A and B are shown apart, each in its own frame.
Chain A
Amino acid sequence: MKTRITTALIALAAAGAVQAQDNVLHVYNWSDYIAEDTLQKFTDATGIEVTYDVYDSNEVLEAKMLAGNSGYDVVVPTSDFLQRQIAAGVYMPLDKSKLPNLANMDPALMAGAAAYDPGNEHAVIYMWGTTGIGYNTKAVAERLGEDYTVDSWALVFDPDTVSKLADCGVSMLDAPTEMIPAAMNYLGLDPNSTNKADLEAGAALIEKVRPYIRYFHSSQYISDLANGDTCVAVGWSGDVFQAQARADEAENGVEIAYVIPKEGALQWFDMLAIPADAPHPDLAHKFINFIMDPQITADITNYVWYANANAASMPLVDPEITSDPGIFPTEAAKANLWASVPYDARTDRLVTRLWTRVKTGQ
């Protein structure tokens, strides 16, 4: 049983205490995002101790990075956030001579990530995934009928449908740059539009279904789905699969499925990067190189159920994972995936304001 630290709170409390010590690497990663033995293996192989803190939102990471002197050596921003944080001077260029395992990476996926970080100068792909819908198959069938096929954003964005699910619990990610574009996508708008009217239409749609949403949170849904405390969650692919695995382990009769809606979904890359003011850049390079080891990356994917971008690791990944269309989307589904673009400061402010309004109902 893995100890789970969900709230950013604890991460904050822990982060406040981060201090530069020699030969101790400070890693700040998403919650539930690493294999149980990865850090121990790293310490065994290199003699470097690791202090590991977690967060569950890009916004929190960005707030800490922009404050400066975070004390972290390796952080894992998502590609669109990475791009504008690079522009703000948050990250140092990688010394590729220290990263021989870069040769293992999938050139096509790295080229995709280069759209955010030209030449992959500052970051390498840690894991990638999609933002779709996780749901409790029995609870949804009970309320919508056995014949209802869950294949569309309508499950959460159509007021009639979602109202029938409110009693068993529906949650959404607390991530404005993912939720509002998803709503725009459902409305047939371009999810990457920065047009004020489009963004407002997306937010208005979520406000309409908000009475049926139990909470907005980006990590709590894993255990809630697994325990049957909630039955539908807009969530990240691997997190939903982790909920599925936990329910299986608990043998509590809860069956969880993940779907990439037919309208399309966000595809994102989480990137390993080194803050410009990292106290131990050398150790950070060693860690990133270690993660790119095929066996290590395969172990992580086998544990967290997120796709990696390490071509050499693929033969070592569980076939159950490589064949799952929720994790490695089919060609047809790939055509509908979109990649996000970072917002400029004005759009960012508009989106965060809209989101505050959605969340608080004000």
Chain B
Amino acid sequence: MRLGRRFVIAVPTLWLLLFFMVPFLVVLKISLAEPRIAIPPYSPLWEWVNGSLKFNINLENYSYMWEDSLYLNAYLSSIKIAAIATLLTLLAGYPMAYYIARSPEPRRSILLLLVVLPFWTSFLLRVYAWIGILKTNGILNAVLLWAGIIDEPLVIMQTDVAVYIGIVYTYLPFLILPLYANLVKLDDTLLEASRDLGASRMSSFFRITLPLSMPGIIAGSMLVFIPVLGEYVIPALLGGPDTLMIGKVLWNEYFSNRDWPVASAVAIVMLVIMMIPIMILRRAQARGAEI
């Protein structure tokens, strides 16, 4: 019995060890090295010199991140963009999830299918489609100019606005699905009781539905917030030089500056920062389970 249980736990433990812990340690090791132009492009952490083991541990990459305000600003800017984008996604996604959950059964399945449908095409292609829509001579500007709403084409591409549009569009399903799963379980008798006691529809929503859907809101928001924090593709393709996000900085360190040690240090710090929302999520889930 106990052996069987241990075995069951051993498989995921081994999995995590192999595919999370080992890569993490490799990144940690590189973050303590010095960059150089060679294969591989960083100094070894330890080497045998005349029969004795010599360690070269270099903490400069971390102190460098403190000295150059770029990194701190990139972290803060990523958090800001992720927070705003999550809020926008929530504002767009909540009514959709609510509507789907309140729809009669056959229509519900179709609506859910529609939410998941975009996943059937490549994410990259869909972002490229947005370039076609948003660019100066793109579809959106052509329509607005034709309708006489604007006189000059709007510059949306290569701005933060384009990044927000891209993020909200891409991550909407990640918010709708957990929120839907929560809202669909909502006990109708509670709403009936509140209506019987004289609460308006509005007040029933804010005092019953919204508080009860909080675990769904938190789960959905985290599923948006955490990946957006490290998002690279959307800011790289839709954003301009002003869009400062840690994913871009990381790419830049790795590919443009070819500075693997600093890139690794940035990644380690990002991982630490990401732990915070994940812990909030876990705590919220634990609380949800108690209820």
* Chain A contact residues, CB within 8 Å of chain B: 7-10, 13, 57, 59-60, 62-63, 65-68, 84-85, 87-90, 169, 174, 176, 210, 213-216, 227-229, 345, 348-349, 352-353, 355-357, 359-362
Contact = CB atoms under 8 A, between A and B. Distances in A.
Contact of B40 (A8, A68, A349): A68
Interface stretch (B20-28, B204-212, B248-256): B248-256
Smallest CB-CB A-B distances: 9 pairs: A352-B257, A66-B41, A362-B70, A68-B39, A59-B256, A63-B255, A60-B255, A229-B136, A88-B38
Contacts of B249: 356, 360
Contacts of B259: 349, 352
Given A84-B37, A89-B38, A229-B136, A10 B124 contact: yes
Contacts of B155: 214
A250 B189 CA distance: 64
B196 interface: no
A66 B70 contact: no
Contact of A59 (B68, B74, B237, B258): B258
Contacts of B191: none
Contacts of B38: 66, 88-89
Task: Bin chain B's interface residue count.
Answer: 20 to 34
Given A10-B124, A352-B256, A352-B257, A360 B70 contact: yes
B135 A229 contact: yes
Given A66-B40, A229-B136, 13 more contacts: A7-B236, A9-B124, A9-B237, A66-B39, A66-B258, A67-B39, A88-B39, A174-B256, A214-B158, A228-B137, A345-B36, A360-B242, A360-B244
Contacts of B240: 214-215
A158 B74 CA distance: 29
Interface in B12-33: none
A209 to B, nearest CB: 12
Interface in B30-85: 35-41, 68-70, 73-74
B233 interface: yes
B234 to A, nearest CB: 11
Given A63-B255, A362-B70, A87 B137 contact: no
Contacts of A345: 35-37
A85 B256 CA distance: 15
B241 interface: yes
Nearest to A59: B256
18 contacts: A8-B255, A13-B124, A59-B258, A66-B37, A68-B40, A84-B37, A227-B137, A229-B135, A345-B35, A348-B37, A349-B257, A353-B257, A356-B70, A360-B70, A360-B242, A360-B244, A362-B68, A362-B69
Given A60-B255, A88-B39, A362 B244 contact: yes
B241 to A, nearest CB: 5
A84 to B, nearest CB: 6
Contacts of A89: 38-39
Nearest to B232: A9
Which of B155, B240, B249, B258 has most A Cβ within 10 Å?
B258
